[in-house]
Structure 1
Amino acid sequence: MSARSKARKRALDILYQADVRGDDLAATLAAEARRAVSEPAREASWLYAREIVDGVIDNRDEIDEQIATFAKDWSIARMPAVDRAVLRIGVWEILHNEQVPTAVAIDEAVELAKEFSTDDSGPFVHGVLARIARAS
């Protein structure tokens, strides 16, 4: 697994944890940063995970607006928490990270959804992100 794939999983953990617990995302990120100091072997994945989560924090309204617009018949609140987190990562990468090709962002998000969410989540995430990519 590549360092960026590991970072996406780590970002997913942070986003999911804050969402499910109802915690402030910045506080959850700060707690993870304190933990990351003691894990120098995982520094490469931590740096990109932090970039993702910071990007989601900085662009949350725009990201959620895109998800709400392109998730046909699904409100953000109704989505499984894992799907919300995966979509936020994917949308951030598509709209705000020029270093990641759109196809890679979508594929990585779909793989996270398949691994950590429901059987229907992979196609759902793919559909939403593909629509956002086409519109951007």
Structure 2
Amino acid sequence: MSKGRIQPRSVSRLAAVQALYQMEVSGVGVDAVVREFAEHRFDRDVGGPGEGDQLAAADETFFAELAKGVVANQAAIDQAIVRRLASGWRLERLDATARAVLRAGAFELLHRLDVPTEVVIDEYVEIAKSFFEGPEAGFINGALDAIARDSRV
């Protein structure tokens, strides 16, 4: 994510991706992870010393809605993603971080119609760029764009 003061919803999206990843790799439930973020992760620097990026500005309600919404709607979200994977690819074949980014983005595209499509795609592509240096951000861009075409008129 870019340097400087990060917008509250951007912070929430990044935190939601991290939470989804954590839930997948550790098996911890969504309520426990949401509580952990609220108690221990928000109000912390996300950059190095002196870089000034803060999680303090997180929209914690939006974060909880994203994390809980993905979990509650995961079967439909995963179906929307799988429809846009290359023939023969399974969701489990993707990196766990990429799955978390796609799930959070797909949730917003499917269930947060108040958020413009371009905002959703741009935000999650930027998040992908913060985790990956290769072609993953382009893949996520294409997949989310296709999911948006499938789900939004």
Give your verdict on TM over 0.5. yes
More helix per residue: 1 or 2?
Answer: 1
2:66 counterpart of 1:52: yes
> For structure 1, which runs of at least 5 residues remain unmatched after alignment?
none
Segments of 4+ moved more than 6 angstroms: 36-39
Match in the other structure for 1:27: 32
**Identity in percent:** 37
Contact 2:77–2:106 (Cα < 8 Å) also in 1: yes
Q: 1:118 to 1:28 in 2, by over 3 A?
A: same
Letter in 2 for 1:4: R
Larger radius of gyration: 2
Give the counterpart of 1:107 among 113, 118, 122: 122
Unmatched runs of 5 consecutive residues or more in structure 2: 1-5, 45-54
- Mapping of residues 16-95 of structure 1, within 5 Å: 16-35=21-40, 42=56, 44-73=58-87, 74-95=89-110
Aligned length, in residue pairs = 135
TM-score (normalised: structure 2) = 0.78
Post-superposition shift, 1:25? 3.3
* Pairwise CA RMSD: 2.1
Aligned partner of residue 70 in structure 1, secondary structure: coil
- What TM-score do you get using the length of structure 1 for normalisation? 0.87
